[in-house]
């Protein structure tokens, strides 16, 4: 059973990246999926959450209008499209499972129970 985030890298301010969250060993459509990030020396911060069906999406105010979450349950994958990236978006990004998007786009301990390994996003010129 594994959840793996990938697609991070170095990008200039204003650029774009697309992160993927792939599940193996279990059906991803049993769960809502959240994206959470953690910058060096800072607390975990919620980024986005998508419902099991994909019909409902939620975003933190800091990324709303710039990031888009989507999923394809047939491919067992969730994506996070990140546009207009800013230096303050630099962080390790994690995807995690939840029974529902109870925190909206924000992070609350206890909402997310199974985490994948993160992927580092660095926004710098």
At 107 the pLDDT is 87
Q: In this predicted model, which residue has the larger pLDDT, 60 or 103?
A: 60
Distance between CA atoms of residues 41 and 53, nearest Å: 34
Buried b (16+ CB within 10 A) or exposed e, 70-85: ebeeeebbbbbebeeb
Tens-place pLDDT, residues 10-39: 999 999 999 999 998 889 899 999 999 999
HSE value, Cβ hemisphere, 13 Å, CA-based, for 118: 14
Question: Which structure tokens are listed for 43?
Answer: 């607390």
Q: What is the pLDDT of residue 1?
A: 80
């Amino acid at each position: 059973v594994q959840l793996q985030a990938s697609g991070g890298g170095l990008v200039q301010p204003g650029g774009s990246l697309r992160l993927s969250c792939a599940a193996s060993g279990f059906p991803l459509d049993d769960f809502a999926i959240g994206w959470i990030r953690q910058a060096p020396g800072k607390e975990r911060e919620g980024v986005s959450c998508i419902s099991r069906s994909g019909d409902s999406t939620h975003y933190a105010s800091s990324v709303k209008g710039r990031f888009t979450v989507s999923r394809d349950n047939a491919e067992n994958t969730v994506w996070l499209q990140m546009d207009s990236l800013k230096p303050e978006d630099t962080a390790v990004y994690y995807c995690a499972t939840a029974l529902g998007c109870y925190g909206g786009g924000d992070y609350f301990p206890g909402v997310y129970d199974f985490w994948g390994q993160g992927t580092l996003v660095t926004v710098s010129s």
